[in-house]
Amino acid sequence: MTDSTQQAQSAPKTSWFMADKAIAALAFLIALFCLLPHLSVILASLLGDTDTLRHLAGSVLDDYARNTLALVVIVGVATFAIGTGSAWLVTMTDFAGRRWLEIALVIPLAFPAYVLAYAYTHVLDHPGIVQTLLRDMTGWGPRDYWFPEIRSLGGAAAMLTLVLYPYVYLLARAAFLGQSATTFLAARSLGKSPLRAFLSVSLPLARPAIAAGVLLAMMETVADFGTVSYFGVQTFATGIYNSWFGMVDRGAAAQLSLGLLTFALLLAVLERSNRGRARFANGKRQEVIARIPLTGTARWAATLLCGLPVLFGVIIPVIALSVMATGSEQDVFSPRYIRFITNSLTLAGIAALVTVAAATLLGSLNRLRETRAAAAALYIARIGYAVPGGVIAVGLLVPFAAFDNALDAWMRATFDVSTGLLFTGSIWLLIGAYMIRFLAAALGAYEGGIASVSRNIDAASRVLGQNSIGTVRRIHVPILTPSLLTAALIVFVDVMKELPATLIMRPFNFDTLAVQAFRLASDERLNGAAVPSLMIGAIGLLPVILLCRRVARHQA
């Protein structure tokens, strides 16, 4: 064999080796960046002064822990009841308005909880529409009657439940649709009523999917800042923000972040272990379950039960915000608002592209290299979804601020030149925080698409001379375009709604729609806050429409 022949044969191997190395290097670099805020929070909390933390421990730390845990429990139970009950009704029974409600039950996912908080405060607070009307009709004074306080832990839990139950609904509905009729009919033949058959057969089979949805709702509850801050409910999320800005104590913010990080990671571990046990619930449908026709009172009761979440989660808030917006002084076409919209779209667009690209690299590494290191990188990238944006912000700002200060001091001492802040307060660091926070969503969409791509295609690509990069670029990406576009759209809208990371990390005088809505609501200018809130909700409808189209394809 001549030297030229040996070189020709070794060239493809060298190309594959170099391409694998490039993908692995980039993927592991992304995983390390995702790990950085967690390590930073741990290190900063251990090295920071504990004076502020001791002060908080003697005053509000118990409230932080108690309120956070109470919110998680209430929202978990409520989303389970609403999501599972409505999913079973629209999947297993037939009643008035079922086909419309089957789609409408997904729509509340488009709205952030703090937007609903602004709307319901306008409606239910003491100077609001409902109580004003009640006093006008009865002649009562402020102390003559009792009315539930919307600005409370219960109010915050209600707002979070109304926007988070679709997580449980979507997963539970998919699980019910995937079940065979055999076991359900066997239970019915043994004399069980439809309700008892649901409780003893359908619900246990769908338990892994339902548990995954409830855990997702719990993780979002832990991460919430806008709702609890506006309602004055003291949680770890508000404590982190107050320590960073109010007390100007980064050590205390890091120590509180560590406590919240521990709790969030516990939920992430529960979700991951639950996903691993979910396989037994996925079986083939030997026989489609015929919907049970409801009649009489049951028919309208089902319509009412499924319609109430839509009424309170979409219709009332949209009407209230629209009425509020008409009486506001906000001009959506003014240069100032155009800047808010441009800033929001810029951040969301760039973050969506970066996050999808990172998910593609990490997913490709796990596809091409089924090693423990690749699996570990993928797991590290996922845990950011369970971590609140405020924690990620603190975890990134602490090391990058230290680096900026050290570099500036060295440049001043060496060259008498100030470099200023290169990373701290930059758009790119904020986009990095978004990527860490929402990378799990993009990875989920990628994995859902790549699962349908046979590995024989990868082998054929290699036989035809394509290396790893060529296979990903010319084979995987074109096939996965719908899944990647879905991932980009979901990340885009999630970034539009993200509040704590944006508040803490945004560049000076670089406000977004979410920041503008929060600022106006904090000043009790609810009519003004309605305008950016409606715009955020309108943009949030885009991924919901996509989800609705998928739901419609599976209608029986």
Q: Hey, CA dihedral for 194, 200, 202, 203, is it positive or negative?
A: positive
Backbone angles phi and psi of 45, in degrees to 5:
-70, -35
pLDDT score for 199: 67
Q: What is the pLDDT of residues 197-222, one digit of tens each?
A: 766 677 777 777 788 788 888 888 88
pLDDT score for 269: 72
49-58, 211-220, 226-235, 426-435: the lowest-pLDDT one: 49-58
Q: How far apart, in whole angstroms, are the C-alpha atoms of residue 514 and residue 535?
A: 10
88-97, 411-420, 430-439, 546-555: the lowest-pLDDT one: 546-555
Q: How far apart, in whole angstroms, are the C-alpha atoms of residue 98 and residue 526?
A: 35
pLDDT over threshold 80, residue 432: yes
DSSP code, position 291 = P
Bridge partners of 293, per DSSP, are 94
pLDDT score for 17: 57
pLDDT over threshold 70, residue 39: yes
Bridge partners of 93, per DSSP, are 292
Q: How far apart, in whole angstroms, are the C-alpha atoms of residue 42 and residue 49?
A: 13
Backbone angles phi and psi of 293, in degrees to 5:
-75, 125
Q: How far apart, in whole angstroms, are the C-alpha atoms of residue 259 and residue 97?
A: 46
Higher pLDDT, 146 or 79: 79
282 pLDDT tier (thresholds 50, 70, 90)? very low
What is the DSSP secondary-structure string of 73-118?
HHHHHHHHHHHHHHHHHHHHEE-TTHHHHHHHTTGGGGS-HHHHHH
Helices 526-553 and 153-177 pack at an angle, to 10 degrees, of: 10
Structure tokens at 115: 């937007």
285 pLDDT tier (thresholds 50, 70, 90)? very low
Q: Mean pLDDT of all residues in the chain?
A: 80
Residue 292, classed as helix, strand or coil, is strand
Q: Quick one: average pLDDT of 255-276?
A: 71
Q: How far apart, in whole angstroms, are the C-alpha atoms of residue 316 and residue 30?
A: 42
pLDDT over threshold 80, residue 122: yes
pLDDT score for 281: 45
Q: What is the pTM of this model?
A: 0.81
pLDDT score for 77: 94
pLDDT score for 111: 87
Contact 105, 310 (CB under 8 A): yes
Q: Quick one: average pLDDT of 36-64?
A: 78
Q: What is the pLDDT of residues 79-105, one digit of tens each?
A: 999 999 999 898 888 888 888 888 889
Q: Quick one: average pLDDT of 462-466?
A: 70
Q: How far apart, in whole angstroms, are the C-alpha atoms of residue 301 and residue 307?
A: 10
Higher pLDDT, 474 or 250: 474
Q: Quick one: average pLDDT of 319-348?
A: 87
Residue 293, classed as helix, strand or coil, is strand
21-25, 197-201, 300-304, 517-521: the lowest-pLDDT one: 197-201
> Residue 34 burial (CB < 10 Å; 0-12/13-18/19+)?
buried
119-128, 280-289, 353-362: the lowest-pLDDT one: 280-289
Q: How far apart, in whole angstroms, are the C-alpha atoms of residue 205 and residue 106?
A: 22
Would you give the end-to-end CA distance of the chain in angstroms?
64
Residue 168, classed as helix, strand or coil, is helix
Q: How far apart, in whole angstroms, are the C-alpha atoms of residue 151 and residue 234?
A: 12
Higher pLDDT, 259 or 551: 259
Residues 6+ apart with CB under 8 A from 444: 487
pLDDT over threshold 90, residue 160: yes
50 pLDDT tier (thresholds 50, 70, 90)? confident
pLDDT over threshold 50, residue 309: yes
209-213, 272-276, 297-301, 417-421: the lowest-pLDDT one: 272-276
Residue 525, classed as helix, strand or coil, is coil
pLDDT over threshold 60, residue 195: yes
Q: How far is CA 544 from CA 99, 244, 412, 537, 550, in A?
A: 16, 34, 52, 11, 10
pLDDT over threshold 60, residue 278: no
Bridge partners of 94, per DSSP, are 293
Burial 397-432, CB ≥16 within 10 A → b, else e:
bbbbbeebeebbeeeeeeeeeeeebebbbbbebbbb
Q: How far apart, in whole angstroms, are the C-alpha atoms of residue 83 and residue 129?
A: 29
pLDDT score for 308: 95
Q: What is the pLDDT of residues 351-407, one digit of tens each?
A: 999 999 998 888 888 877 778 888 888 888 887 776 778 788 888 888 888 888 888
